[in-house]
Amino acid sequence: MNEKQFNRLIIALSVIIPIAVALLFRVKVEGVDFSFLPPIYATVNGLTGLLLIIAVIAIKKGKRLFHERLMKMNLVLSASFLVMYIMYHITSESTVYLDDSMMKYVYYFILITHIALSVLVVPLVLFTFSKAVMDKFDKHKRLAKITFPVWLYVAFSGVIVYLMISPYYS
């Protein structure tokens, strides 16, 4: 696959994924209970964040193969998060944050930035990954400096959102 084909695929996925997720929020599947998934996908988010940090340390130490394996694992973890997240939300009602203190505003700030950046992180990750696959490591490295903090924020803010909303799960 050449760079132009990669770019077209990445742009298509970057548009299709958030639209599909938004549309799936309107779908409700009755009779299936995936209420056990939020702590699992929050853990997957946390693990992704930790592996991102380890991967950056690995590449800084020159351990390229280890870095590559960790990053591929992060792609798998992120994809599995997305599947579990969709499975939960198409089978469960949305949970409302009930605390009326200032923490409500903190929660919604973290949630909104998490959601917005999770949309942005899809093309960032895919473009960064594609540069590595095509052996364009100078471009990969420049893009990774942007992608890493955004992906890290999305991963760890997902855990924080879960911890803040979990007392209100029914």
Task: Kindly list the domain boundaries of the chain, sorted by start residue.
Answer: 37-168
Q: Is 104 left (phi over 0), alpha (psi -120 to 50) or beta?
A: alpha
pLDDT at 1: 79
pLDDT at 25: 85
DSSP 104: H
**Stretches in the chain below the pLDDT threshold 50:** none
CA nearest neighbour of 97 among 83, 84, 113, 110: 110
pLDDT at 2: 87
Tokens of 59: 């590449």
